[in-house]
Amino acid sequence: MEKARFGDKLNVIYDIDEDINIKIPSLIIQPIVENSVKHGILEGSKRGTVKIYVKKITNNKAKVIIEDDGVGISEKVIERVYNDNMQENKIGISNVNKRLKYLYGKGLQMERLDKGTRTTFIVETLKG
């Protein structure tokens, strides 16, 4: 969806294991990608890349990684997400974190990179 909105200003790269069978609940990836674009890429060079990786880590778990090459998230924001202390008008990522904790027992892992942000979470794979 973001690629359609931003055209050549945004490059999206997908790297998804072929032998993986997962269903990611709705409104999990979209807010993370929107955050990457709005607060990372568009605040920086106005052009950028979002990479979405989905990797099988065990027979019943997969890791989803979303990286951008924007300005990078501040440690203060990461701390607020982890402590459920976001401002009322900035709750998208906080809500994702809460939903993941509820569904899978563990929320987001977020880190500032040299250039950009990496957000990671674990989901269960489907049987069969």
Between CA 46 and CA 103 the distance in angstroms is 35
Percentage of the chain exceeding pLDDT 70: 89
- Predicted confidence at residue 26, as pLDDT, reads 87
What pTM did the predictor assign? 0.88
**11-38 pLDDT, tens digit each:** 999 999 998 999 898 899 999 999 888 8
All domains in the chain, ordered by first residue: 2-124 (3.30.565.10)
Please report how many Cα atoms fall inside a 13 Å half-sphere around the Cα of residue 48, on the Cβ side.
26
Between CA 103 and CA 116 the distance in angstroms is 27
Q: Provide mean pLDDT across the span 48-59.
A: 94
